[in-house]
Amino acid sequence: MSDKKKNDSGINIDLGLGGLFNGIEKLVDLASKLQEAGGEINKEGNIDLDGLKKGMKGVYGFSVKNATGGKTVVEPFGNIKKTPKGPKVEEVREPITDVFDEIDKVMVIVEMPGVSKKDIKIELKGDILEISAESGQKKYSKEVLLETKSLKPENMTSIYKNGILEINIIK
């Protein structure tokens, strides 16, 4: 993939994207190796599987977001947690979550496939939104710290469809 563009005079102009694309490519390669091995990749690229047992089912991923001011936020999800003794598979998964702080409301989108609306519990305590669900073998739990502090539970509505929970809290 090239990050250079020719202008009308035939001169190559560097758009400065080469480093970004190289970094993303390395990140995708490491994530693929981790998925294949089911373990932890350390800084050197070695995979540590000591903390996992054969037959364990684990989910691990992360989302990379650009916040206001150009700050990059990396947020993990899944049920594999890092411990001093190595990775540990938990029974409860942390779902992928996106928070949109809009002018008139805060919207939170949570991916929780495999549960039904009646299994979901949502609680707003000040600026902390607690979300959990349990249905058979599917268990989710997430605490979301909201930037807006004056939100009230009575201004909260939610919709759950096709594994996606949308929570809206009017400011």
pLDDT, position 136:
86
Q: One-letter amino acid identity for 6?
A: K
Structural domains in the chain, CATH included, are 95-171 (2.60.40.790)
pLDDT, position 15:
43
pLDDT, position 50:
55
Nearest 5°: the CA angle 8, 9, 15 is 70
SS3 162: coil
Q: Is the confidence at residue 41, as pLDDT, over 60?
A: no
pLDDT tens, 57-70? 677 777 777 666 66
- What pTM does this model have? 0.63
Torsion angle of the four alpha carbons 23, 24, 27, 28, in this order, in degrees rounded to the nearest 10: -150
Q: One-letter amino acid identity for 89?
A: V
